[in-house]
Amino acid sequence: MSRLPRGVYLVLDADVCVAAGHAPADVAVAAVRAGIGTVQVRAKGAGVRDQVALTVAVAQALHDAPPAVLLVDDRVDVALAARTRGARVDGVHVGQDDLEVADARALLGPDAVVGVTAGRPALLRAAGGADYVGSGPVRLTATKPEAGPALGAAGVRAVVDATTLPVVAIGGLTADDAPAVRAAGAHALAVVGAVCSAPDPGGAAAALVAAWARAEAPAVTR
C-alpha cells in the first residue's frame, strides 16, 4: 500500500500563487477541501527562513482540513525545522541535485514520505528506497521552463514500466489530461498552474479531482 494518496497532487508554488493574487495557505486549504490528497510546498524564490515559515503556515492552515500528505520540495532541513516548530510535515520531494533518498529518509525517519524526480528510466537507480517517482515533464511548461524534454504520455508509460514505484506525472497538465495520464499507469497527476494560477483554486482543484475520478472509473470496472 503506497504512502502517497492516488489522484491529484498539488505542488503549491508560492511564487505562482502570489502572482495570481492568492495566499499559498488559502490555496492549500481550498485544494484539500476539494479532495486533493497531497500538497508539496515549493518556494524557489524564498530564503530558507521564509521556507520554514511558509511550511509551518501551510501545515497550520491544513490542521482542520481533511487529512492530506504534506511534503517540502528539495529541503530536508526545512521539513525538519518545521517539524521542530510543531508542524506535521510528512516528508520531502528531492530532485537529482538534492540530498539522496537514503539520506533524506535517515534524517526524516522511516515513516517519512520521500519522493524523487526520475524523468527517464536511467535515473531510476537513484530512486531506490523512495515512496514514489516524479515523472519529469509530460509537456514543456512555463512554470519550470528548464524542465525537458517533454515525455508525453508514452514517456510516462516508459517510467511506469521501468519501476515498481508509484509514478506521479507532472508538467503542463490539466483536467483534460486525466484520462491519458491514468491510462499510462500514473498513480497521481501533479499540477502547479492548473490550481495555483486559477481564479478559483478550489473550483479548479475540484474539477481536477472529478476528472481523475471519471478517468479512473473504466479501469475499475474492467
Ligand X SMILES: Cc1nc(C(=O)O)sc1CCOP(=O)(O)O
Amino acid found at 15: D
Number of H helices, E strands in the chain: 9, 8
The C-alpha atoms of residue 91 and residue 53 are separated, in whole angstroms, by: 16
Least distance between ligand X and beta carbon 37 (Å): 17
Least Cβ distance, residue 42 to ligand X (angstroms): 6
Q: How far is the CB of 119 from ligand LCLJCK34 (least distance, A)?
A: 8
* Among positions 5, 52, 74, 151, the unique one binding Mg ion when judged by CB under 5 A: 74
Q: Which residue has the cell 511550511?
A: 55
- Nearer to ligand LCLJCK34 among residue 149 and residue 218 (C-beta): 149
Q: Which does 87 bind (CB under 5 to 8 A by kind): Mg ion, ligand X, ligand LCLJCK34, none?
A: none
Q: C-alpha distances in angstroms, 123 versus 8, 9, 94?
A: 24, 22, 13
**CB 35 within 8 Å of CB 5:** no
What is the spatial distance between Cα 27 and Cα 14, in angstroms, rounded to a whole number? 10
Report the binding-site residues for Mg(2+). 74, 98
Q: Which residues bind ligand LCLJCK34 (CB under 6 A)?
A: 9, 11, 40, 42, 73-74, 93, 95, 115, 117, 134, 144, 168, 170, 190
